[in-house]
Amino acid sequence: MRGVWARTDRWSLLVVGVALLLALPVLTVFVTALQPAGAVWRHLADTVLTDYVGNSVLLMLGVGAGALLIGVPAAWLTSLHEFPGRRWLEWALLLPMAIPAYIIAYTYTGLLDFAGPVQTLLRAGFHWTRQDYGFPEIRSLPGAVVMLALVLYPYVYLLARAAFLDQSVAVLEVSRTLGAGPWRRFYAVSLPMARPALIAGVSLVQMEALADYGTVQYFGVGTFTTGIFRVWYGMNDSTAAAQLAALLLLFVFALLVFERWSRRRARFHHAGNRQYRPARLSFAGRWGWLATVACLVPLLFGFLIPAGQLTVWAWRTAPHVVDGRFLALLANSLLLALGAALLILLLALLLGYGQRLRPRPLVRWAVRSAGLGYAAPGTVVAIGVMLPFAALDRSVDAWARQWFGVSTGLLLSGTLAALLFAYCARFLPVALHSVEAGLSRIRPSMDDAARALGSTPRGVLWRVHVPMLRGSLLTAVLLVFVDVLKELPATLILRPFNFNTLAVRAYELASDERLADSAPFALAIVLAGIGPVILLSRAIGRARPGYDAVP
Amino acid sequence: MTPFLDLTDLEIAYPPRRVIQDVSLRLECAGIGCLLGPSGCGKTTLLRAIAGFEPLQRGSIRLEGVELSRPGWTLPPERRRIGLMFQDLALFPHLTLADNVAFGLRGWKPAERRARVHELLRLVGLDDEAQRYPHQISGGQQQRVALARALAPRPRLLLLDEPFSSLDVTLREDLAREIRAILLREGIGGLLVSHDQFEAFAFADEIGVLREGRLLQWDTAYNLYHQPANRFVADFIGQGVLLPGRIEEGGRVSTELGEIDGLSPVNCAPGDAVEILVRPDDVIHDDASPLSAEVVERAFRGAEFLYTLKLPSGARLLCLAPSHHNHALGQRIGIRLDIDHRVMFRQENG
């Protein structure tokens, strides 16, 4: 008879092994970056590095400020007040999340450039010619800030909204008895109490802004991500690329630490008792409509206009774009995303369950390190996958040539395996988060009951947890599916030759200034992206007073 | 004869804390036992160790002579054939009642499995509800399903972790008795964990009192009540007070209420100060008695009154009197002692 310990070690080993494998890309980037700086790096440092750092920091600060300016008032209005349309604005304000930043950038470029409808209309309306007016150039750093803020503000909105709803009624009521009007209650009470949540939201937004590649590349703004591409492809220096990537990662980790820290502080700000909630304050008449308009603006610019423009373009170009090749590409993309999502789900289940089975420090640390990839921008993960895979290919090739006189060429790099691995490293934490949340709601006595009835640990997973987790697992698959579908930079770097996805094709066509032709591809991505938004909006609906959080 | 369940010298620790130490007990031939103790005494940990969820630091666990646990080696729970009923029942919410009961019957032939599920659901009176889900039935019914599920794979021993605590008192004792009858009929050993002595009395042949990870006494309910091994057991089981006294020549004990005779279980010399355990049923209300005490508290319990009496020295006594002896607070009533089992402890200093 084998005892429980032999079995345990197998589980821990498997979990730790898988987790470390998934942490490999990020670790690779750091290890490679530790190599002495080469000529390219010195050249970078002398020339463009300051630009990269400067632009990245400006982008980060700008997008953070923009997301705050849009997200906080919207959250304050919809969570504490009543006005026409509040019910549907509450979730509709999340819709911009469905649009990847690079797609909104293409759309607005098409709308606002010289030949676009806006300028054309202005010229026709005022009988201007090119020399008669100045028009702000959208393809610039400020343009990129606006684009990113428009699609990223929902992070701030979501967290701010939760914070406002959670705030102690008593504190707000006391401030009313002390004579504070709505405006003062907002900036002197609500806002300071929500500060940890706002910092967390802004940190998330800034992480996304740093990770963006498509927008800044299209707008020609030199940042870390575009720099990594240039060094990798233009200068062919993997070490310098890894060094840039490591520097970017340091920025991201700083944000991550900041975010964690602010969340920890949130506990002290949380003012318990939410037994009852005051009725929402009603805005009367004109003020109500003003609130409606205020909430409509971000929705309009963040979703309705770009989605509308995409639809118009797609309507026009679909007849010649949507053909057999389009459908093949669509199937390609969907299958890849689905395959990646299922694979990631399996790994997340393995890690989540392994952690539950043996909550040892070693296992916990390994699983945490597997989560590093989420903080890492796609560009960084791609570099971290490319380097070890290429090294492995080279050594296998050398070995085969030496012993068998044949060249194996590239076995792994440039294959779907490399791409899938990158997706796993990047998006595993999304699935793991869902799985862990679901598992934590299953009481440990369920596991014990099943074990006492003769199930092995693996049996418990399949017979008890998976069926009970169905909802969480579906959520995880959907979230990862859409993330993979939208993913651009890692796919660009790692995709096999002549292998295309919706995101890549939309990017290629837009880069060729064939914006209208790219619309059907972009629209397909946006439609898929609405799925997670619906999930989130349902969560919002459930969190309404009077509804219990679903167990 | 090999004992049915044999725990020797158990120690269980969550370093640096030892949760269970020096626990040894034996349950003879499929008997029914209970681990009784206040919350945090380690009784649930002990139960989980028997089920195979907690490894041992020292000692061993044997069932029917076969070793199940020893330090560094634990037979996994799924191979022990020990059933477990949880405080929160842990019914699988995604399965019907029938499927819940069938969960442990993997590897059985479908026909046999159906028959067994049917048999058990009938046993607990839920045959008609087989296709419903756990959330659709009442708390008492859920309890029965959990029982049926635990019994289905014919375990050798059934462990029950306060499974009745969510039920109201009457239902609780009924169900305890009902389960006891089923276990005896099926020849399955039982071990209950509880903090409620009446539940333990209704359910178990032998009861162990646990305190801070140590087993203080393992005995029948009668002996726990009448011959507690130490002050904690005396205090924890039943009601009563400790009356001060002094050992006289010949082993008798003189107290405020006269001399009390009987064998002395503690090693004392004449002149030693001791305390005698006086249960409420040891104090008889007798108007003819020369001794009397003042009523300071009274609790009406239907068939009887529980009076708290104050003696001239200020010492308190509890007295159980038939319900028609209705006395007001402040009244003096006659009493006499009628102690069958004299339980005595050496007086604690201070």
- Count the helix, strand and coil residues of chain B and give each as a percent rounded to the nearest 5: 25, 35, 40
Distance of CA B231 to the CA centre of its chain: 17
Q: Minimum mean pLDDT among A37-46, A344-353, B111-120: which range?
A: A37-46
Highest-scoring range by mean pLDDT, A288-297, A393-402, A408-417, B164-173: A288-297
Helix H, strand E, coil C: the string for A151-171 is HHHHHHHHHHHHHHHHCCHHH
ipTM reported for the complex surpasses 0.85 = no
Residue appearing with tokens 């959670």: A166
For the segment A241-287, what is each residue's pLDDT rounded down to a tens digit?
888 888 888 888 888 888 777 766 555 444 444 444 556 777 777 88
**Domain segments of chain B: what residues?**
5-234, 240-346
Tokens of A432: 């793991």
* CA dist., res. A507 & res. A237, Å (int): 24
What's the rounded mean pLDDT across residues A451-460?
88
Q: Are B193 and B43 in contact (CB under 8 A)?
A: yes
The distance in angstroms from the start CA to the end CA of chain A is 39
- In sequence order, the 6+-apart residues with CB closer than 8 A to the CB of A174 are none
**Cross-chain Cβ contact A445/B86 below 8 Å:** yes
For the segment B208-262, what is each residue's pLDDT rounded down to a tens digit?
999 999 999 999 999 999 888 888 998 888 888 888 888 887 778 888 888 877 6
For the segment A206-216, what is each residue's pLDDT rounded down to a tens digit?
988 998 998 99
Residue appearing with tokens 């993960």: A381
For the segment B295-322, what is each residue's pLDDT rounded down to a tens digit?
999 998 888 889 999 888 888 889 888 8
pLDDT at A400: 83
Tokens of A479: 């979230």
pLDDT at B138: 86
Q: Kindly tell me if the per-residue pLDDT of A312 is higher than 70.
A: yes
For the segment A55-100, what is each residue's pLDDT rounded down to a tens digit?
999 999 999 999 999 999 999 898 888 888 888 898 899 999 889 9
Domain covering B240-346: architecture: Beta Barrel (2.40)
**A436-474 burial string, b = 16+ CB within 10 Å, else e?**
bebbeebeebbbbbbbbbbbbbebbbebbbeebbeebbe
Tokens of A333: 């993309």
As a whole number of Å, the CA-based R_g of chain B is: 24
pLDDT at A549: 33
What's the rounded mean pLDDT across residues B7-27?
89
Tokens of B314: 């200020």
- In sequence order, the 6+-apart residues with CB closer than 8 A to the CB of A459 are A450, B78, B106
Helix (H, G, I), strand (E, B) or coil at B131: coil
Q: Long-range contacts for A293-298 (Cβ within 8 Å, ≥24 apart)? A: A294/A73, A294/A74, A294/A77, A295/A74, A295/A77, A295/A78, A295/A85, A295/A86, A295/A89, A295/A93, A296/A85, A296/A89, A298/A70, A298/A74, A298/A93, A298/A96, A298/A150, A298/A153
Q: Which residue has the higher pLDDT, A368 or A4?
A: A368
pLDDT at B267: 67
For the segment A105-164, what is each residue's pLDDT rounded down to a tens digit?
989 988 888 777 888 888 888 877 777 777 778 888 999 999 999 999 998 998 888 888
> Taking all residues of chain A, what is their mean pLDDT, rounded to a whole number?
83
Count the Cβ atoms, other than its own, within 10 Å of residue B288: 6
Q: In this complex, which of B75, B84, B94 lies closest to A452 when CB atoms are compared?
A: B84
Cis peptide before B16 (omega within 30 of 0): yes
Cβ neighbours of B149 in A, within 8 Å:
449, 453
**Cross-chain Cβ contact A5/B72 below 8 Å:** yes
Q: Which residue has the higher pLDDT, A294 or A268?
A: A294
For the segment A9-27, what is each residue's pLDDT rounded down to a tens digit?
788 888 899 998 998 898 8
Q: Kindly tell me if the per-residue pLDDT of A541 is higher than 80.
A: no
Q: Minimum mean pLDDT among A36-40, A152-156, B325-329: which range?
A: A36-40
Q: In this complex, which of B78, B81, B88 lies closest to A456 when CB atoms are compared?
A: B78
Q: Edge-to-edge strand order for the sheet containing B58-63? A: B17-27, B5-14, B58-63, B66-70, B73-74
For the segment A167-203, what is each residue's pLDDT rounded down to a tens digit?
766 666 666 666 666 777 777 777 887 888 888 889 8
Q: Which residue has the higher pLDDT, A168 or A380?
A: A380
Count the Cβ atoms, other than its own, within 10 Å of residue B336: 15
The distance in angstroms from the start CA to the end CA of chain B is 47
**Cross-chain Cβ contact B87/A445 below 8 Å:** yes
pLDDT at A6: 46
pLDDT at A177: 63
Q: In this complex, which of A1, A443, A454 lies closest to B78 when CB atoms are compared?
A: A454
Residue B169's Cβ-side half-sphere holds a number of Cα atoms within 13 Å equal to: 3
pLDDT at A551: 29
Helix (H, G, I), strand (E, B) or coil at B10: strand
B5-234 domain in CATH 3.40.50.300? yes
Q: Kindly tell me if the per-residue pLDDT of A366 is higher than 90.
A: no
What Cα–Cα distance (Å) separates residue A419 from each residue in A19, A95, A210, B40? 18, 29, 22, 53
**B163 close contact with A: CB closer than 8 A:** no
Q: From its phi and psi, is residue B270 left (phi > 0), alpha (psi between -120 and 50) or beta? A: beta
In this prediction, residue B341 has a pLDDT band, given cuts at 50, 70 and 90, of confident
What Cα–Cα distance (Å) separates residue A462 from each residue in A450, A458, A545, B216? 11, 7, 35, 43
Q: Kindly tell me if the per-residue pLDDT of A296 is higher than 90.
A: yes
CA dihedral A154, A158, A161, A166 (to 10 degrees): -170
In this prediction, residue A547 has a pLDDT band, given cuts at 50, 70 and 90, of very low
Q: Kindly tell me if the per-residue pLDDT of B263 is higher than 60.
A: no
Helix axes A39-46, A49-80, angle to 10 degrees: 70
pLDDT at B312: 85
What Cα–Cα distance (Å) separates residue A258 from each residue in A204, A271, A330, B245? 10, 22, 39, 70
Cβ neighbours of A468 in B, within 8 Å:
92-94
- Closest to A369 (Cα-Cα) out of A355, A357, A356: A355
pLDDT at A151: 92
**B250 close contact with A: CB closer than 8 A:** no
Q: Which of A453, A458, A461 to mutate to test the interface with B (most CBs of B within 10 A)?
A: A453
Q: Which of B48, B53, B68 to mutate to test the interface with A (most CBs of A within 10 A)?
A: B53
